[in-house]
Amino acid sequence: MSAGESPTIVIPFVSPRAGDPVITSELVADHGLSDDEYERICRIMGRTPTFTELGVFSAMWSEHCGYKNSKRLLQLLPTQAPWVIQGPGENAGVIDVGDGYALAFKIESHNHPSAVEPYQGAATGVGGILRDIFTMGARPIAVLDSLRFGDLDSARVRYLFGGVVSGVGDYGNCVGIPNIGGEVAFDRGYEGNPIVNAMCLGLMKKEDLITASASGVGNTLMVVGARTGRDGIHGATFASEELSEESEEASRPRVQVGDPFTEKLLLEASLELISSGAITGIQDMGAAGITSSASEMAGRAGNGVQIDVARVPVREPDMTPYEILLSESQERMLVVATKGHEHEVHRILEKWELEAEEIGEVTADGRFRVLENDAVIADMPALPLTEGCPTYEREGIEAEEVRQLREMDLTEHLIPNGDLTKAFLLLLASPNVASKRWIYHQYDTTVRTSTAVRPGGASGVVRIRGTKRAIAATTDCNGRFVYLNPRRGAMIAVSEAARNLVCTGAVPTAITNNLNFGNPLKQHIYYQFREAVLGMADACKAFETPVTGGNVSFYNETDGRAIYPTPVIGMVGIIEDLSNITPQSFQSKGDDIVLLGENTAEMGGAEYLYVTAGLVAGEPPRVDLARERQLQRAVLTMIQNNELRSAHDCSEGGLACALAECALGDEEAPFGVKVELDDTLPPVATLFAESQGRIVVSCAPDRTENVIKLAMDHSVPARRIGKVGRRGEAFHVTAIAGQIKIDLVTLSRAYFGALPAIMNTPASSVE
Amino acid sequence: MRVGVVTFPGSNCDYDLYKAAQQVGADVEFIWHRQKNLDGYDVVMLPGGFSYGDYLRAGAIARISPVMEDIVGFAENGGPVLGICNGFQILCEAGLLPGALIRNVSLRFESRDVHMLVEQTETPFTSEYQKGQILRIPIAHGEGNYEADGQLLEQLEAEGRIVFRYVNRGGEMTEEANPNGSRNSIAGLTNESGNVLGMMPHPERAMEEVLGSVDGMGVFLSLAANLSTVVL
């Protein structure tokens, strides 16, 4: 018997509430349900649902909550490893990080709200992910943000970008969680539909782990935190639709408003509640509000719940049960208090000047029952809400347009159009390559006094106080690669994330993913999704980094045009000894620069093509997972043996840009660079191709031999390519038949000045 | 040294301050914002954060918090009070320090390392520093732009009450080195009797090499050196 088909023996009759609209096929369609799905609901109910019941089903069976079009493929991802304590299905994944500590971490999207109201959309995205972490019993220790926007020459895009950055910043800053990294990319492929993914890491003692289940029949359900208002009603369904030009005005009421101050109080109160032992479960009221939190908690425990909406503290009068059940007002929690310990919950919440109210209880009958005072408003089996959502596997076919772009001949672009140094400066000043300081200088990165590596490097690092250990985290995905070749692009995203962690000295350990795609009902989008999941599964297996949770965001389309498929990889790694933390920039003049891996002429999807020709085309660079793994093992060994002074991954902008970043560091004390590359490739490829599997390291000259030997031992190609110069010396990179030569002041201005110059242009016209 | 770290609803650097004071050997306790009795503390610290969400104006609501009445009394009796970031804002709102902290000139939150010059070492907070020493310390604030009228600035300068000033690496006061537009590049100042210090930079975030700087330790070491000998 599948969960969706459970026979209902007694069919409780629920009379419609006065004022409820009549259920018509139009109303059903407005709720995002197909005719088949509606029939299925009637079968499950044994009768026609009431308006309120329809709303509940619609939210729970939305793409956002029900994973209709993704669930079957997601099952292909590896989720197990000895260090995984909690895999997918909870508020967040949890892994063992040693010394008695566990790490909870998760990434989540807030793309649609941010497209409509960038500041609040982004802020509430951060708020939601923090709650997912502290409801596991973990104290949030770091935030990362992964962002995508259209090109910054549009005033509208600058408005979205500026608003999102201050929304992410203000929320995290106020709650007091350091931002330790993330990424941002700008490409016309995201115009109109930005991507805002926020990731949070939380630390706890292993024994403090708590889950979100409604266990213990007779225990009391309590809503704690902010009051319930009319904001964000049907946000989950909204997140499961495409955007159109009308969306902005029409959808604004569906965007929630954040209050980070209340969040901070809720965080402290929740952690105190968990350690008090007065509660058995706790869950954030995220998408679909009380409905999803109550039914998911019931579902996990195999119990039922009964809620009286009249007891839910509301912000405004005359809210209907439908509204109360589906409101997505922020900073609220559903708590299951052990019977008889409700006063303890009240006491703790009062201390933090927050409200708590008993709204119902855990029942044994497996029903999701809603009362309004004495009247039953909804009565439905709980399990089908969370488990009975129909799932689909669709046909996927690659778009002809993409195939043509991928097969485009790029030979003509290998001939530089003018001076190489000029092209290089253009590339370095592209917002995709240039310093992101303008962003992270708006984020508190040092609060909680544990940030060992701040944003701006390959990955952020927070130490675990009282131990020698640290946690590294990164988010990565090059959407252009995924667009051109979804399977390979997803493999590259995982490989790059792992490479970034390794460069700071961390062992890649586990993944949370945020799969941002267009409308899965379209065959070419489903193709992208399927291929990306398959590529990701292969790469996760190769790196032994299981996926412990994440988020799927479909329908990222504006006026029918989808974003680049963007499966963002949030990866965490463990640094076993703080002394292994390795900087990405050069540290000492006279050091040798060694290139690990090989340069190739693979220009597909390179930033160089976008900057010089406005092109997103070609076959993305090959990725050999076994060799990539060997490269990473080699670098970790070098770091553990204390051979390296710095390590930097080669990604957007290629080897030349990686070298520039190594030279510039944090701007205060840049180093000169003298590098000679003897590859028999066109210089454009040697310098700017984004071939995979390359890391630039620097070491004291007496270590070079060891470094090269260790690389060889791992079958990794390695060669000394040059030297770190003095401060004030030039940045000089020669390839066969071409060179880049430039003074450090100009280099620094291009790299650090680009984003401020763009963003400080007054945003006079907010379109 | 017995240190009390005040926690207002919305404080978020209280734990960091707690650990910093503990690191120099202090006996530290949190003081809940509703607590009324400050007996037995050698120094009271007001942490950074967003007390009461910084709604209305940074520090404006914390100022009327129950504990503040006693903190004013504690300071008036000569007790050392250190306010960092939001703590500095609260001290200004409470009238324990003159002037006001307004929105950064950039109109953005500013979070990064700054350099600041130690100008006064004859305070219980800075005696372990060298005069003219340049410190590298993180800032993280949206409203740190110190504002005072000409007369007050003259008075502060004349009385030597400006303890820290934003400078560049070379120790020069420049516009670029001033992260928020503060008058006279003021990063920290004391009250008239020198027992209340407010500063925007976060010395508690610069206490360990692994965090990038140990330049903030002087503040806590100075307090420990000056207060450990107090006989209760």
Q: What structural domains and CATH numbers belong to chain B?
A: 2-228 (3.40.50.880)
What is the least distance, in Å, from the CA of A218 to any CA of chain B?
A: 34
Which residues of B does the annotation mark as catalytic? 85, 202, 204
- Give the pLDDT score at A761: 63
Distance, in Å, from the CA atom of B112 to the CA atom of B137, rounded to the nearest integer, reads: 8
For residue A449, give the nearest of B110, B169, B205 by CB distance: B205
Give the CA dihedral A699, A703, A708, A713, nearest 10 degrees.
Answer: -120
DSSP state letters, B33-86: TT----TT-SEEEE--B-GGGG-SSTTTTGGGSHHHHHHHHHHHTT--EEEETH
Q: What is the Cα Rg of chain B in Å?
A: 16
- pLDDT 10s digits, B61-110: 998 899 999 999 999 999 999 999 999 999 999 999 999 999 999 999 99
Q: Which single residue is written with the structure tokens 């990063």?
A: B187
- Give the pLDDT score at A234: 66
Cβ distance A561 to A538 under 8 Å? no
Q: Residue A3: which pLDDT band, with cuts at 50, 70 and 90?
A: very low
For residue B211, give the nearest of A261, A353, A452 by CB distance: A452
Contacts of A258 (CB under 8 A, 6+ apart): A120, A123, A124, A126, A127, A167, A171, A330, A331
Give the residue on A whose Cα is nearest the Cα of B53: A261
Cα angle, residue A570 at apex, residues A189 and A632 outer, rounded to 5°: 105
- Extract the tokens encoding A744: 């450090």
Average pLDDT, chain A: 92
Distance, in Å, from the CA atom of B193 to the CA atom of B76, rounded to the nearest integer, reads: 9
**Cα dihedral sign, B46-B47-B53-B55:** positive
pTM, to two decimals: 0.94
Distance, in Å, from the CA atom of A535 to the CA atom of A539, rounded to the nearest integer, reads: 6
- pLDDT 10s digits, A64-109: 888 999 999 999 999 999 999 999 988 899 999 999 999 999 999 9
Q: Which residues of A touch B12 (CB under 8 A)?
A: 174-176, 264, 447
- Extract the tokens encoding B143: 């409203």
For residue B111, give the nearest of A265, A444, A465 by CB distance: A444
Q: Residue A298: which pLDDT band, with cuts at 50, 70 and 90?
A: confident
What is the least distance, in Å, from the CA of A199 to any CA of chain B?
A: 20
- Give the pLDDT score at A249: 54
Q: Residue A760: which pLDDT band, with cuts at 50, 70 and 90?
A: confident
Query: Can you list the alpha helix ranges (DSSP code H) found in A596-700?
Result: 607-613, 625-640, 654-664, 683-688
- Give the pLDDT score at A766: 39
Distance, in Å, from the CA atom of A731 to the CA atom of A747, rounded to the nearest integer, reads: 8
Distance, in Å, from the CA atom of A326 to the CA atom of A295, rounded to the nearest integer, reads: 12
For residue A449, give the nearest of B108, B142, B204 by CB distance: B204
Report the percentage of chain B scoring pLDDT > 90: 90
Interface contact flag, A442 B109, Cβ < 8 Å = yes
Interface contact flag, A442 B108, Cβ < 8 Å = yes
Report the percentage of chain A scoring pLDDT > 90: 82
Distance, in Å, from the CA atom of A424 to the CA atom of A444, rounded to the nearest integer, reads: 32
Q: Name which residue leads in pLDDT, A387 or A732.
A: A732
Residue B231 scores a pLDDT above 50: no
Q: Please state, in angstroms and as integers, the Cα–Cα distance from residue A183 to each residue in A127, A511, A557, A755, following that order.
A: 19, 16, 21, 14
Cβ distance A197 to A568 under 8 Å? yes
Cβ distance A103 to A201 under 8 Å? yes
Q: What is the Cα Rg of chain A in Å?
A: 26
Distance, in Å, from the CA atom of A718 to the CA atom of A596, rounded to the nearest integer, reads: 4
Give the residue on A whose Cα is nearest the Cα of B49: A174
- Give the pLDDT score at A390: 93
The SS3 call for residue A453 is strand
Interface contact flag, A442 B111, Cβ < 8 Å = yes
Chain A interface residues (partner B, CB cutoff 8 A):
166, 169-170, 173-176, 259-262, 264-265, 352-353, 440-452, 454, 463, 465, 578, 581, 668
Average pLDDT, integer, range A580-607: 97
Q: Which residues of B touch A262 (CB under 8 A)?
A: 53
- pLDDT 10s digits, A303-357: 999 999 999 999 988 899 999 999 988 889 999 999 999 999 999 999 999 999 9
Q: Which residues of B touch A442 (CB under 8 A)?
A: 108-111
Residue A2 scores a pLDDT above 70: no
